[in-house]
Structure 1
Amino acid sequence: MWFLLQNKIGLHVLVKTKVKSNNFATILNNLGQRWYGINNNLHHPGGRVWVIWLPENFHVTLVQSSEQQITVDVTDIQSGVNFWFTVVYGSNSDTERLQLWQELQGIKDQCNIAWCVGGDFNAILHFNERVGSTVLWSEIEDFRLCVEYCEMVDLKAQGSFYTWNNKQDTTTRVFSRIDRFPINHDWLQLYPNSYVHFMNEGLFDHNPCICYRSKEPMFTKSPFRYFNMWGQAKDFSNIIQLEWGKPITRVRMYQVVSKLKNLKKPLKVLNKHKFSDIDTTAELARFLLDILQTKLHLNPYDMILREAEQQAAENYSTLHKAQMSYLRQKAKVEWLKDGDKNTGFFHRHIKVRHIHNKVLSIKDIHGNLQIDLVHIEAAFLEFYTDLCGSNRHTTTVHFPTVRTVCEAIIDFFHTGSLLKQLNAILVTLIPKVTKPTIVLEFRPITCCNIIYKCIAKLLCARLGEVLPYIISLGQKRAQARRPTLPSSIYYMYGVLVLDSHCHQFSGRLQISPSVKLYQAKSLTFCR
């Protein structure tokens, strides 16, 4: 009871209850609140699945039930949102679980709204989801086929990776991930920031979990991003030359930064007018080409149709290349370049990848779990501030021309100064473990702009000629087993300093606090 009250749960699921049907009402009354509930005791004498809820929070209607699952139609009283929820307790028998897979496929054919399936499947999807016992392909094949048919993906999970263990001694202990929450595409659209958190099992064999729902977007402002498909526009080069040719005074680096900033607006206009709905535009172009080709086959001597068909083919080819370039860049699926046309799949892949890369909860350095966006941001900032210090920076987007960039780099070695817009590094946080829960379980990867990289490499090359004369023989022997000098650039000129004023996140995990390299007071040795 304390678990329900502490976590403010309004819809609760229990599996493997083993409670007789005549005791069901008594247990509900003993919970202390006015709980409603249903079970599948009609299909199993001992009872396997319970669904209980608070009527002031949810309205629940039974859709169907069987020995291994209960499917309910749930309506959130406050928001009026409606979805289906299937609670599963799979049989220990592979043969009996085939019936469960068939039932889930039948539910998929009926459901046309958001749908989530959760519980104990007594089956795994991947080979790495069991430790201590051999995994055979025959064990996961049927489950995979069911998930693929239902077009479902796992809800983003945090906390414990393995959700069950047999509680035996150290030599025979088996860990397995048999509890999960697959969801369909409609659920992703309805609750883009939902996730499930698996806690430690305590004295039980299964890990309890809590599913968090949230319709509100966590990140409202997106950073400017350059898309390769823009380069296929006929007026793209003219736009670049027009903006880049505008005279700007002051130092070379300021010219580069200002021109990059001025390019954002015309590129956004270009995207809005020609690429804002690239999927629909490409599909219409394909449809028009199909119509013209059909007419041309009926009248192959019509020269007007020939010319119209040729122009339609060229237009569709251009739009199709732009569409594939956009999908490849968004989804980052390498084999898209080999000609896969399953654009529906890639749209889902983009959505899933975007959601799974978000950090929806994290433990701060004090061990407190943070689920609010502001507190998550503060947890990362506190950790890296304590580790590195603090300072300010400005993020830049780079699209330089060769000549101007070269002049800006040379200007740095003449003046020894670097603008704060360029003296910055974006840090993307890559998880070290499958389900990171604390800040320390992320590995920061630095992403430098092109001018920063060129200056750093030139510094490395110049210092490489001096360091052999100032490093002792013992240090050289130790350094011989380490990476080459360019990969150890941080030894040369600075420390990473966290920006304590970071307000928007981007990158692989949607949490990318930006840092800057502390600029030395004197860089006269570089000249």
Structure 2
Amino acid sequence: MARPARGKKLVTRDGSKAARVTESEIEEPSGNYLSSELTLKDPARQLLIKGDVNNVLSHEEKQGGLPVSLNEVEGFRMAIDECQLEHLLCQGGFFTWNDRQLGTYRISAKLDRVLINGEWLKRFEEIFVTVLTESISNHCPLLVKWEYHSCRTNRYFKFYNMLTEAVGYKDLVQQSWRMPVKGTKQFQLVQKQQRLKRELKLLNRDRFARVDIQVQAYREEMEHIQAELQVQPNDEQL
């Protein structure tokens, strides 16, 4: 199927179906169909959107050429918010496309991206995207990697107050949060949250390995002692 000269193509992958890929030709140059296509997706199903959406989210995502107008980004922003999508933690370059001009005539933009919903994050514990260097195409390839646990139980990261007492906790949080991230305010917030979460998970694993198991063991021991006290209330050894 030929791609419209002034249109766009949306490719989505539905994680609830094995190898199910949906392609939609977007014929409206305004890109409004892109927002409509996104808002039709069921938020209760696993959804990953990857590729060239031919749209930016802010003026920071474009360098050179005509300035970005509100009309260009408003529909896409609303669709992302309505579908409760998030950007993946990104490694590599920031801009994913350029017009291959030289010097001040060069235009660069972030046209390619990976968006996922919360249902996808529940299934894949570690997932991120790497922006590779361009080759034949003037678009940079996006490489998505994830760690899948088929027998995984609901082991979500829990923040324990004792983490704040770990040596270097405050410095770790400050350094992680101060590391610059390019993009919209919402994009920066999501990226920083995901990065800090990964850092805290490592800290929790290194300093307080499986503390939930230790807490449960102490709780069971305490309950056992309390039960014994009900039978032998005068036993001083208890």
Does the pair score TM above 0.5? yes
Deviation, 1:192, is: 3.3
Deviation, 1:220, is: 8.7
Deviation, 1:197, is: 0.8
Q: Mark the CA change 1:181 to 1:85 in structure 2 (over 3 Å): closer, same or farther.
A: farther
Deviation, 1:115, is: 0.7
Deviation, 1:223, is: 7.1
Superposition pairs for residues 106-125 of structure 1, below 5 Å? 106=40, 108-109=41-42, 112-125=44-57
1:157 pairs with 2:90: yes
Deviation, 1:187, is: 0.9
1:100 equivalent in structure 2 = 34
Give the counterpart of 1:432 among 176, 179, 184: 179
Relative contact order, CA 8 A, sep 6+: which one is greater?
A: 2
For 1:98 and 1:220, the matched residues in 2 are separated by 37
> Any unmatched runs of 5+ in structure 1?
1-40, 49-66, 76-80, 227-394, 399-423, 436-506, 515-527
2:196 equivalent in structure 1 = 508
For 1:224 and 1:173, the matched residues in 2 are separated by 49
Task: Tell me which structure has the larger Cα radius of gyration.
Answer: 1
Q: CA RMSD in A?
A: 3.7
* Corresponding pairs, count: 180
Deviation, 1:182, is: 1.3
1:211 pairs with 2:148: no
- The answer to whether the 8 Å contact 2:11/2:49 transfers is no
Superposition pairs for residues 387-466 of structure 1, below 5 Å? 397=165, 424-426=167-169, 427-428=171-172, 429-430=175-176, 432-434=179-181
Superposition pairs for residues 119-268 of structure 1, below 5 Å? 119-133=51-65, 134-216=67-149, 224-225=160-161
Q: Mark the CA change 1:204 to 1:149 in structure 2 (over 3 Å): closer, same or farther.
A: same
Q: Mark the CA change 1:47 to 1:137 in structure 2 (over 3 Å): closer, same or farther.
A: closer
For 1:47 and 1:199, the matched residues in 2 are separated by 26
Q: Mark the CA change 1:114 to 1:144 in structure 2 (over 3 Å): closer, same or farther.
A: same
Q: Report the secondary structure of 2:37's partner residue.
A: helix
> Any unmatched runs of 5+ in structure 2?
183-194, 204-238
The TM-score, its normalising length taken from structure 2, stands at: 0.61
For 2:157 and 2:102, the matched residues in 1 are separated by 51
1:377 equivalent in structure 2 = none
2:218 equivalent in structure 1 = none
- The answer to whether the 8 Å contact 2:14/2:45 transfers is no
| The structure with more strand, counted as a fraction of residues | 2
Q: Report the secondary structure of 2:50's partner residue.
A: strand
- The answer to whether the 8 Å contact 1:192/1:215 transfers is yes
- The answer to whether the 8 Å contact 2:11/2:51 transfers is no
- The answer to whether the 8 Å contact 2:132/2:140 transfers is yes
Q: Deviations over 1:366-423 (max 9, x none)?
A: xxxxxxxxxxxxxxxxxxxxxxxxxxxxx9829xxxxxxxxxxxxxxxxxxxxxxxxx
Q: Mark the CA change 1:70 to 1:164 in structure 2 (over 3 Å): closer, same or farther.
A: closer
Q: Report the secondary structure of 2:134's partner residue.
A: coil
The residue identity in structure 1 corresponding to 2:73 is: I
